[in-house]
Structure 1
Amino acid sequence: MLSQEDKEFLTWWEANNKREKKLITQLSVGLPLGLAFGFPILLSVLFRGWYKNMPYVSGSQLTVILIAVLLIIVFYAIFRMRFKWELNEQRYNELKEKQAREATITENELS
């Protein structure tokens, strides 16, 4: 028997499956966590005075580092949200199979 939480998830996923798969939605939802992941890296490079043994970073190197950190942030945001989408899709398929099995068992018992 499916729990109330499982039924609510099935309803929600059927309504939001297509929207959650869009790249723009994945970026808008995943970007804050990606920023939380990449922002400390950026801060450690920009404020390099806290670590005395860190080599000097010139302006051209800083540009490359900024681009790399931005790519890390975007990659992390998209990868995380696609992984989350796959997990939700797998959960949805498993619950649908469970629901179909329960319906078959109920039909067999009634026969």
Structure 2
Amino acid sequence: MLSEREKQFMQYWEANRDRENRWQQQLLAGIPMGLLFSLPVLAIIFTGKLWYQRADMAMNAMASPYVLIVAVFVITVFVSIFYKRHQWDMKEQQYRQLKAREELEAKEGDA
């Protein structure tokens, strides 16, 4: 027998699974997690001036700030979409397991 919470999840997921599978929705919803991964890169680079001046000189000689901005943007987008895609897969797996359990219980109830 499915619990009330499981039934509520199944109703929610049936109504929203297609909306949450779009990459635009995944990007917008996952941006906080993407920033959580990419902003420490900036923090390390900008505080590197304080604790290791030689590495800072080497970084300034090799990389432009535009490359750094693009890299942080790419990291943010990748992590945000990947994170939400993984969450979607986990919810879809849970939904399918509950659906299979519901169908099995219906068959056992008929027999």
Query: Which TM-score applies when normalising by structure 1?
Result: 0.88
The aligned length equals 108
* 1:78 has 2:87 as partner: no
* 1:102 has 2:84 as partner: no
Gaps of 5+ in 2: none
1:90 to 90, 93, 98: 93
- What residue is the counterpart of 2:56 in the other structure? 55
Q: CA-to-partner distance for each residue in 1:56-98, whole Å, 9 max, x for gaps?
A: 2338532212211211111000001111111111111111000
- What residue is the counterpart of 1:33 in the other structure? 33
Report the 3-state secondary structure (helix = DSSP H, G, I; strand = E; otherwise coil) of the residue aligned with 1:47.
helix
* 1:23 has 2:20 as partner: no
> In proportion to residue count, which structure has more helix?
2
Identity fraction in percent: 34
CA distance in structure 1 between the partners assigned to 2:86 and 2:77 by the alignment: 14
- What residue is the counterpart of 2:71 in the other structure? 68
In structure 2, give the amino acid aligned to 1:48.
G
Q: CA-to-partner distance for each residue in 1:21-64, whole Å, 9 max, x for gaps?
A: 11111011100111011111112213332322423233853221
Report the 3-state secondary structure (helix = DSSP H, G, I; strand = E; otherwise coil) of the residue aligned with 2:56.
coil
Query: Which TM-score applies when normalising by structure 2?
Result: 0.88
Out of 5-14 and 38-47, give the one that drifted further.
38-47
Taking only aligned residues, the RMSD between alpha carbons, in angstroms, comes to 1.5
Does structure 1 retain, via aligned residues, the 8 Å contact 2:49–2:56? no
